[in-house]
Structure 1
Amino acid sequence: MHRQIEARAARYQLSPVSRHVWATKYRWQPPGGAPECDIAQTWWRVARALAGAEPAARGLWARRFYRALAGFRFVPGGRILAGAGTRGDACLLNCFVMPDVADAADARFRALRESALTLQAGGGIGLDFSALHPRGESASGSGAFAAGPIAWMHVWDKLCATVETRGQRRGAMMAVLACDHPDIEAFVRAKREPGALSHFNLSVLVGDAFLAAVAARAPWPLRFPARGEAGGQVVRTIPAVTLWDAILRNAYETAEPGVLFIDRINRCNNLAYCERLHATNPCGEIPLPPYGACDLGSFNLTAFVCAPFTAQASFDWPALRRLVPLAVRMLDNVYEISAFPLPAQQAVGQGARRLGLGLMGLGDALVMLGLRYDSAAGRHFAARVMGEICHGAYRASVALATEKGPCAAFSAKPYLQAPFIAALPQDIRDGIAAFGIRNSHLTAIAPTGSISLLANNVSSGLEPIFAPSYDRRLRGGETDRVMTLHSHSVLAYRRLSGDVTGVPPAFRASSEVSAIAQLQMQAALQRYVDNAIAKTVNLPAAIDFEAFRATYERAARLGLKGCTTYRPTALRQGILCVRPPHA
């Protein structure tokens, strides 16, 4: 049987963009040896490497893992695809959060060194700069004046540009700052100059007290230490609504900063009893403690659609349910075979064993099933998919705990009291109470940029389809390359229908999906996501500022953990460009 599956996979056709992404990012060539000849060899390499963590029956697990990977049904994170089975010192975790950048000189330079080692291994990093003295203040009683968070962010930006990474990926970074830090206004303006802090994404840590002050049009104290910490000295006070407008005005004009609703993130954290979260990975889908790591993988929903574009179109629910436990096991094994840039990262990562199972191809799957992205039926389907992934993953993690033991961070009473865990089906809660759980967190929805392209250009993450056809700038090899891409579902529709210029009836480009509908989709999935969701709300260039502002306020009311938007402007150009209809 496995030879038949291997033969089918060897014949799996890659689109031009898939072949480009595979060849430049994921194809392995051992020193002095021949490169992998097709995607099936890549799947086998990854499957055997992950099976190497099993105490017994490794050949059997390798075959099972291979079947999960074949046809891009389940796609692990890029570092896993690129590194598993290549070198013993390969780091397979995509991203980490570093300890808060502290004010003492030795702590800052230790943080720089640890960041350099992590970036060198290919991991992206998240950093909270809120513990640094504001610019111009006397620092640490030394008589010297503090450079401030923005100056130190430029140091990290240069570091990221300079460090040589293993593999094809240049490290990415997320910088966050508390909304009550005295330098917050400079932070939100930090990327207005073209090219400034180009290796960073920026997000503001927005707490409940600030949102209440905005609603009440109350004054807002800027203090140090920040984050509302006891003993923080108020430096000055500004109207809360003035700061909120500054955050949103900069996002309106430059697409940054994003907003993280940090109090909600911490309230909903399964491990709130033993850790405090201040930052996320660079794309925002995994809030992490200091030295925490993200271990990601996504189900390609288009692979489960049967009889697409017909009245008999359906989704193969049993196949998804069978695959979820395998995916949990595969990602859990990553913690055993991955190298870690720092011992502390290994300790924290293996202590909680956080996973981030998510989805991609949602936009295409909806079109193939005849469901509009902006419809109630579309949201109901998406929520059902994420519910199956979530509940199946939790049941699988309980089963793994009975076999391999629960994670070290697990403590039954406080864990079961966490809001997300309290809302799980009773059989899962009973299993956790009896046997513990192997992984503290199990679901996240990542942007899936490169791996969506690898899987024959399915729509990324939970995003709607960008356009029927578009040009995209791709990185890889010696120089960037622009390729014309076609939507996965539109291409399939044209092939099956013979209509070489048409689009399916349910097709809606992202420009046709309102901000409200995008937020509603995110909210529909959030109830089944214990980490977070990377979502960029795409908005038209012509949207007025008040409507733009309402997007963030609606995100807060819907209970989302963050909000990021993109509006085309002269200051911020995207990597995608819509092709004319005849192209």
Structure 2
Amino acid sequence: MKTEVVADVTDRLSYTYEEALEAASKYFDGDELAAGVWLNKYALKDSYGNIYERTPEDMHHRMAAEIARVEKKYPNPMSEAEVFEVLNRFKYIVPQGGPMTGIGNEFQVASLSNCFVIGNDGTSDSYGGVMKIDEEQVQLMKRRGGVGHDLSHIRPKGSPVKNSALTATGVVPFMERYSNSTREVAQDGRRGALMLSISIDHPDSEAFIDAKLDGTKVTGANVSVRITDAFMKAAVSGEKYTQAFPIGSKDPLITKEVDARSIWNKIIHNAWASAEPGILFWDTIIRESVPDSYKDLGFETVSTNPCGEIPLCPYDSCRLLAINLLSYVENPFSEGASFNFEKFKEHAKIAQRIADDIIDLELEKIDAIMAKIKADPESEDVKRTEFSLWEKIKEKCIQGRRTGIGITAEGDMLAALGLRYGSEESLDFTEEVHKTLAVEVYRGSMELAKDRGAFGIFDWELEKENPFLARLGETDPELLQNISKHGRRNIALLTIAPTGTTSLMTQTTSGIEPVFMVSYKRRKKINPNDKNTRTDFVDDLGDHWQEFFVFHHQFANWLKLNGYDLAEVEQMEEDALNEIIAKSPYAGSTARDVDWVNKVHLQGRVQKWVDHSISVTVNVPEDTTEEKVNEIYRTGWESGCKGITIYRDGSRSGVLVENKKKEEKEEGAYISEQKAPARPQILEADVVRFNNNEERWLAVIGLLNDRPYEIFTGRAEDSFHLPYWCKTGYVMKSKDADDNTRYDFQYKDKDDFRITIEGLSRSFNPEFWNYAKLISGVLRHGMPLLDVVHMVENLHLSDESLNTWKNGVVRALKKYIPNGTKAVESTCGECGEDAVIYQEGCLICKSCGNSKCG
């Protein structure tokens, strides 16, 4: 799905990709990964790929000019130079994602918001309501927004309904619907992001919890369960628990008594096995939520954004902005290191001011989106849902003016101060930093209210009993008095997001997380006859490679400040390097080293000073038991966390896969047979078109549970003809007159008539058929797609036409390999790093960006 071109600025200076990449690499001191991420995701470009910014400095000037324009609307405006100073080089204040891409961007009609939540009125689960949410979700994703919505209003499976179905199907089919819609939406190579949640009180919550366990369903969504305090107490004590529908009704239509501990153990097992579902401690979220003081005015929280850090009411949105904590450490990595709280306080208020300016810029973007919808040639019936959606979002934006001020570089800040992440001293200091941030951001919002007015529905009487505000008042009583008198500019203000690509550009640790790894190995191709080279690895082609260490940016700075020669350390043996790491402030502070108990306690202590929530993952080793996961989750609840997610090494394919020595089986050992799932009479199918050399080819991929189950492919000029617009259909298994199995293909034409092509299996060149049956057989028996592709690639076929056909099969199947899966031959031929992954069916190096499709 392409973005609309809304400007044709032909007189602007543009740059080639190579020119911009070279300039950006210099800006990032040779860090090509950071340069590539910035250039591909955030540099100003039009829909034709023309690039109009060479470095992030150009981007920061673009953003500063727009923010300063808004500032001029209000008293005591900041100048463009003042705004640029705090944005420049990602040093202090970093607007994240949508704001970086969209502010001052005249080429796109896109929102600046990172996060949205949508929903019905809480009672409607009609098909009309379901389809409305589906459309709203897609419309927001095409504008670059991540979306969350809750399924607790959908009737449980088996409930009576007044239509021809007679009974409801329950939540799981709708999870699939929303997930599939997410996977269909792509924006500049960026897939949609979705959070689905459900209350533990819902009678279908157990089916929801199991929906993603086999890894083949609901692959386009994160899922989280809203857990109540009452359920947690029942799970701990082993008592029964009553689920009811409608949720929260005093007179429910359906009740169901369940074993709370059994369901809790299922959540634990699934999280241990597959890293999902996540948990939202819902009573804590609602109890602490300032916006829920205004629930009778439409601000009742119902779900969260895809990463869980922003709980929202329906049709509210948020824009994220991070403060780089490392930049406030003076004399870092020395005995004289200290944190500049005065500058931090000043910048916290500036960050809030800029975040409020971005709301005004977002309102301008929403007006542009609505004008675009009005001008579109579709009928009013077609446009009605989308236009109404943005009307609701605009109203919530005006009423609440919600912001999302967060941080990044927590791990590096602690290391620069000589504090070990997770130690008691680090917990105390971290809490002090976040308490200071909360107080000063709320002070900044109060001061803005004096000059610009409070958010639209501010009412001190409604929110004065909120426990979060009470903690602020205990810390600074005068601040709370001023808020009661003058109001605030914003209904809620704070969060901690993952800051993934943001941390690549700040060259720091991400969000509240510790450093993931201090060092990792890379390879570079060498001539073995050159002097001062060492061959550490010879590949299958006979090329020689030398291994060297690459360091986390701030660890490299620590090495330099402590007199180490970086080039020498890069070439050290691993044992010698580990001795140096043990002397550094990063010792015992990586994601795998940090004690999970202290990490959860740190999250709980920071959460007291964050009015939204925190995105954080507890990383645990592969041998972690389910009992330990249970303890992590319980500790999170007891520590006041609003949500928690764990990732056990190896529990999810395609994510940070490690090479491990496989266990050798005894000679003659029999591997248990995996029975293929039975083939339904009718399979949904995708049609994939591609060029094979100079020929036009197509493939029909029969799908079972969204996974390739069988494949038919060949030249499009053969007897199998399809109109160019046909992308999907059905493969039907039947018998011919002689009782032989036959596969037919059926699709709908533009008038919704069904067209059947008989004998699909014989429509292509018959010599391909035996190989097609072989490949379909291994697909049906569940061989991982990466292994199937590797197997087909290595078929030795003498006939040229068979090899062409083989290449067609490979190209078709690669499109179904999950994004992020590590390639079999994962060493990049350009940069030598072990970083080649699949992305949209192509092989891409995460390090240098080298790409190959085929």
TM-score (norm 1): 0.91
Deviation of the 1:470 alpha carbon:
4.3
Any idea what the Cα deviations from partners look like across 1:377-430, whole Å, max 9, x if unmatched? 111221121122111111110010011100012111122221111221211111
Q: Return the alpha-carbon distance in structure 2 between the equivalents of residues 557 and 189 of structure 1.
A: 25
Deviation of the 1:47 alpha carbon:
1.4
Q: Return the alpha-carbon distance in structure 2 between the equivalents of residues 471 and 398 of structure 1.
A: 50
Q: Is contact 2:622-2:651 (8 Å) kept? A: no
Deviation of the 1:176 alpha carbon:
0.3
Equivalent position of 2:343 in the other structure: 319
Aligned residue runs from structure 1 range 15-94, under 5 A: 15-30=31-46, 34-56=51-73, 60-72=78-90, 73-87=92-106, 89-94=109-114
Q: Counterpart of 1:417 in 2: which secondary structure?
A: coil
Equivalent position of 1:408 in the other structure: 456
Structure with the greater alpha carbon radius of gyration: 2
Equivalent position of 1:538 in the other structure: 619
Letter in 1 for 2:513: E
With 95-104 and 278-287 compared, the bigger mean Cα shift is at 95-104
Change (3 A) 1:301 1:168: farther
Q: Return the alpha-carbon distance in structure 2 between the equivalents of residues 462 and 378 of structure 1.
A: 12
Q: Return the alpha-carbon distance in structure 1 between the equivalents of residues 355 and 152 of structure 2.
A: 32
Equivalent position of 1:6 in the other structure: none
Deviation of the 1:548 alpha carbon:
1.4
Change (3 A) 1:348 1:415: same
Q: Counterpart of 1:512 in 2: which secondary structure?
A: coil
Equivalent position of 1:489 in the other structure: 554
Equivalent position of 1:442 in the other structure: 493
Query: Kindly, what percent of the aligned residue pairs are identical?
Result: 30
With 525-534 and 9-18 compared, the bigger mean Cα shift is at 9-18
Q: Return the alpha-carbon distance in structure 2 between the equivalents of residues 574 and 407 of structure 1.
A: 42
Letter in 2 for 1:296: L
With 18-27 and 305-314 compared, the bigger mean Cα shift is at 305-314
Equivalent position of 2:592 in the other structure: 511
Any idea what the Cα deviations from partners look like across 1:515-548, whole Å, max 9, x if unmatched? 1011111122111111111111111111222121
Matched, 1:306 2:330: yes
Q: Return the alpha-carbon distance in structure 1 between the equivalents of residues 251 and 164 of structure 2.
A: 20
Q: Return the alpha-carbon distance in structure 2 between the equivalents of residues 245 and 234 of structure 1.
A: 24
Equivalent position of 1:4 in the other structure: none
Deviation of the 1:56 alpha carbon:
4.4
Any idea what the Cα deviations from partners look like across 1:9-41, whole Å, max 9, x if unmatched? 996636222111111111112578652111111
Q: Is contact 1:104-1:140 (8 Å) kept? A: no
Aligned residue pairs: how many? 559
Q: Counterpart of 1:321 in 2: which secondary structure?
A: helix
Aligned residue runs from structure 1 range 188-199, under 5 A: 188-199=209-220
Q: Is contact 2:243-2:255 (8 Å) kept? A: yes
Equivalent position of 1:426 in the other structure: 477
Equivalent position of 2:310 in the other structure: 286
Q: Is contact 2:86-2:93 (8 Å) kept? A: yes
Q: Is contact 1:172-1:282 (8 Å) kept? A: yes
Equivalent position of 2:648 in the other structure: 567
Q: Counterpart of 1:394 in 2: which secondary structure?
A: helix
Deviation of the 1:506 alpha carbon:
2.1
**Equivalent residue in structure 2 for 1:267, among 287, 291, 316:** 287
Q: Is contact 2:71-2:78 (8 Å) kept? A: no
Any idea what the Cα deviations from partners look like across 1:99-131, whole Å, max 9, x if unmatched? 148411221111111111101101010010111
Q: Is contact 1:213-1:219 (8 Å) kept? A: yes
Q: Is contact 1:96-1:294 (8 Å) kept? A: yes
With 536-545 and 130-139 compared, the bigger mean Cα shift is at 130-139
Letter in 1 for 2:342: P
Equivalent position of 2:175 in the other structure: 153
Equivalent position of 2:405 in the other structure: 357
Any idea what the Cα deviations from partners look like across 1:487-528, whole Å, max 9, x if unmatched? 232121123334324335221111111110111111221111
Aligned residue runs from structure 1 range 451-462, under 5 A: 451-456=502-507, 458-462=508-512
Q: Return the alpha-carbon distance in structure 1 between the equivalents of residues 464 and 163 of structure 2.
A: 45
Q: Return the alpha-carbon distance in structure 1 between the equivalents of residues 510 and 217 of structure 2.
A: 27
Q: Return the alpha-carbon distance in structure 1 between the equivalents of residues 310 and 445 of structure 2.
A: 18
Q: Return the alpha-carbon distance in structure 1 between the equivalents of residues 638 and 171 of structure 2.
A: 30
Q: Is contact 2:71-2:77 (8 Å) kept? A: no
Q: Is contact 2:28-2:35 (8 Å) kept? A: no
Letter in 2 for 1:210: F
Matched, 1:332 2:356: yes
**Equivalent residue in structure 2 for 1:187, among 189, 208, 211:** 208
Change (3 A) 1:258 1:31: closer
With 546-555 and 493-502 compared, the bigger mean Cα shift is at 493-502
Deviation of the 1:63 alpha carbon:
1.6
Q: Counterpart of 2:291 in 1: which secondary structure?
A: coil
Equivalent position of 2:261 in the other structure: 241
Any idea what the Cα deviations from partners look like across 1:443-466, whole Å, max 9, x if unmatched? 11111111111212x111111111
Letter in 1 for 2:431: A
Any idea what the Cα deviations from partners look like across 1:312-371, whole Å, max 9, x if unmatched? 112222221221121111111111112246111111122111111111111111111110
Change (3 A) 1:301 1:225: same
Q: Is contact 1:363-1:463 (8 Å) kept? A: yes
Letter in 1 for 2:287: R
Deviation of the 1:233 alpha carbon:
3.1
Change (3 A) 1:59 1:272: closer
Equivalent position of 1:481 in the other structure: none
Q: Return the alpha-carbon distance in structure 1 between the equivalents of residues 442 and 80 of structure 2.
A: 22
**Equivalent residue in structure 1 for 2:275, among 255, 262, 281:** 255
Deviation of the 1:437 alpha carbon:
0.4
**Equivalent residue in structure 1 for 2:631, among 522, 545, 550:** 550
Is there any run of 5+ residues in structure 1 with no aligned partner, and where?
1-8, 473-483
**Equivalent residue in structure 2 for 1:467, among 514, 517, 531:** 517
What do you get for the CA RMSD once the two structures are aligned?
2.5
Deviation of the 1:141 alpha carbon:
6.1
Q: Return the alpha-carbon distance in structure 2 between the equivalents of residues 470 and 149 of structure 1.
A: 43
Letter in 2 for 1:15: D
Higher RCO (Cα < 8 Å, 6 or more apart): 1
Equivalent position of 1:477 in the other structure: none
Equivalent position of 1:417 in the other structure: 465
Q: Is contact 2:244-2:254 (8 Å) kept? A: yes
Q: Return the alpha-carbon distance in structure 2 between the equivalents of residues 77 and 512 of structure 1.
A: 29
Change (3 A) 1:429 1:295: same
**Equivalent residue in structure 2 for 1:206, among 227, 236, 240:** 227
Deviation of the 1:573 alpha carbon:
4.7
Q: Return the alpha-carbon distance in structure 2 between the equivalents of residues 576 and 21 of structure 1.
A: 22
With 280-289 and 108-117 compared, the bigger mean Cα shift is at 108-117
Deviation of the 1:201 alpha carbon:
0.7
Change (3 A) 1:470 1:83: farther
Q: Return the alpha-carbon distance in structure 2 between the equivalents of residues 176 and 243 of structure 1.
A: 16
Q: Counterpart of 1:274 in 2: which secondary structure?
A: helix
Aligned residue runs from structure 1 range 99-178, under 5 A: 99-100=119-120, 102-140=124-162, 143-165=165-187, 167-178=188-199
Change (3 A) 1:262 1:471: farther
Q: Return the alpha-carbon distance in structure 2 between the equivalents of residues 271 and 126 of structure 1.
A: 17
Letter in 1 for 2:266: A
Deviation of the 1:554 alpha carbon:
0.9
Change (3 A) 1:470 1:408: farther
Letter in 2 for 1:29: K
With 424-433 and 27-36 compared, the bigger mean Cα shift is at 27-36
Deviation of the 1:193 alpha carbon:
2.1
Q: Return the alpha-carbon distance in structure 2 between the equivalents of residues 161 and 498 of structure 1.
A: 50
